[in-house]
Structure 1
Amino acid sequence: MPTIDPRIDAHIAKAGEFARPVLERFRALVHREIPDCVEAIKWGMPHFTLRGKNLAGMAAFKAHVSVFFHHDEQPGGTGPFRKIASLDQFPDEEQVIQRLHAAVERLSSASTASKPKAAPKPVPDMPSSFADALEDAAVRDRFDAMAPGQRREYIEWIVEAKTVTTRKKRIVQAVEWIGEGKTRNWEYQKC
């Protein structure tokens, strides 16, 4: 049994005289072909969802009706579905059914695909001058206790220095901050 939303009935009733038959035909086709779809209003337009994912939608304008399928990868985009001015211009029923089933197929395959997890960025090698500066055991222990990302930020900051003078200043500053238990960007952290 299709899930009917009374807001879509109201939306169709508010549409122009030419648009009502087109909207009703598309709605009936969607419910006939995908009986477990659910109606919803999204972005102010009637939509059909399947398992919580957007499947298709329709919109009535002053002079035409648009019918669209989410995540549509058909060549030419929406093509004959973009501007339908009357029921006579409604695309072939088989074409609509084909696009609906293709949309369902895309939804099914999209739900199983997941983005691969990115590998953590490795901590770069510590410059020997920085390792020598961490000779105090308490400072060295604090540095070793930091998260890999925090250690990486300090090392990258020192390595990125363009001159030897800048590198030395950064090493002195880093040792001071590490001794105080501060991370590299401690000034920007919320307290």
Structure 2
Amino acid sequence: MKYSKSIDEYIENNSEWLEEITTLRNIMCSTEMKETIKWGAPTYTIDGKNVVGLGAFKSYVGIWFHQGVFLKDQKNKLINAQEGKTKGLRQWRFSSLSEIDEDLVLKYVQEAIQNQKEGKEIKPEKSKTLTIPIELDRVLTSDTDLKKSFDQLTPFKQKEFIEYIATAKREATRLSRLEKITPMILEGVGLNDKYR
């Protein structure tokens, strides 16, 4: 496998974990997975699907199994970092090089690759349909240009505008917010684009 320059940079930026990250990276690169950077960290994929990620933090280096919930985990190495929130992702943490059993890590990784090939994955839940606040609905119904512009926005941007209006408790606030966002919708600008 060819090594990625940006991952070399990631390792340089986390030099306190140099040996640990390099060891884990070598394990990942010994497989058929493709190495890339996603979310600013090394990620390993099969057929474009995320299988494993690496991350360095203050007190540990971790492996993320994107569909780790399907791993047998006979050695009880995996944790759910956000109990109640995370459905498929599982983490394995190491606080020193001596904790990394290369053969065992490779065994887990190979199982994760096989699971991905078999299509074992938890799909993200479909988000609930949003109810457009009456004030926004009225304006969209009466102004065809605004409606056309709103429909051309990404679902994410539409949701931001809907929630912005819906979260106002007073009608006067909803109307003043509506007045503020109307030119933004016409320009195709999202509510929080200036912060992105």
- Report the TM-score when normalising by structure 1: 0.51
Is the contact between residue 51 and residue 116 of structure 2 (CA under 8 Å) also seen in structure 1?
A: yes
CA distance in structure 1 between the aligned counterparts of 2:92 and 2:106, rounded to whole angstroms: 16
Structure 2, unmatched stretches of 5+, are 80-90, 124-140, 149-196
Deviations 1:78-126 (A, max 9, x none): 24x6331210122x22221111111111111118xx9xxxxxxxxxxxx
Is the contact between residue 68 and residue 78 of structure 1 (CA under 8 Å) also seen in structure 2?
A: no
Deviations 1:108-146 (A, max 9, x none): 1118xx9xxxxxxxxxxxxxxxxxxxxxxxxxxxxxxxx
Q: Which residue identity is paired with 2:117?
A: S
CA distance in structure 1 between the aligned counterparts of 2:3 and 2:33, rounded to whole angstroms: 9
Structure 1, unmatched stretches of 5+, are 115-186
- For residues 1-191 of structure 1, what are the structure 2 equivalents within 5 Å? 2-17=1-16, 19-32=17-30, 34=31, 36-73=32-69, 74=71, 78-79=78-79, 82-90=92-100, 92-110=101-119, 190=147
Is the contact between residue 13 and residue 20 of structure 1 (CA under 8 Å) also seen in structure 2?
A: yes
CA distance in structure 2 between the aligned counterparts of 1:31 and 1:97, rounded to whole angstroms: 10
Q: Which residue identity is paired with 1:64?
A: Y
CA distance 1:37–1:83, change in 2 (3 Å): closer
Higher Rg of the two aligned structures: 1
Is the contact between residue 60 and residue 95 of structure 2 (CA under 8 Å) also seen in structure 1?
A: yes
CA distance in structure 1 between the aligned counterparts of 2:115 and 2:78, rounded to whole angstroms: 16
What is the aligned partner in structure 2 of residue 147 from structure 1?
none
CA distance 1:51–1:3, change in 2 (3 Å): farther
CA distance in structure 2 between the aligned counterparts of 1:78 and 1:68, rounded to whole angstroms: 9
By how many angstroms is 1:77 displaced?
6.8
CA distance in structure 2 between the aligned counterparts of 1:77 and 1:89, rounded to whole angstroms: 11
By how many angstroms is 1:6 displaced?
0.4
Q: Percent identity?
A: 26
Q: Between Structure 1 and Structure 2, how many residues are aligned?
A: 113
CA distance in structure 1 between the aligned counterparts of 2:109 and 2:64, rounded to whole angstroms: 10
By how many angstroms is 1:43 displaced?
1.2
CA distance 1:72–1:108, change in 2 (3 Å): same
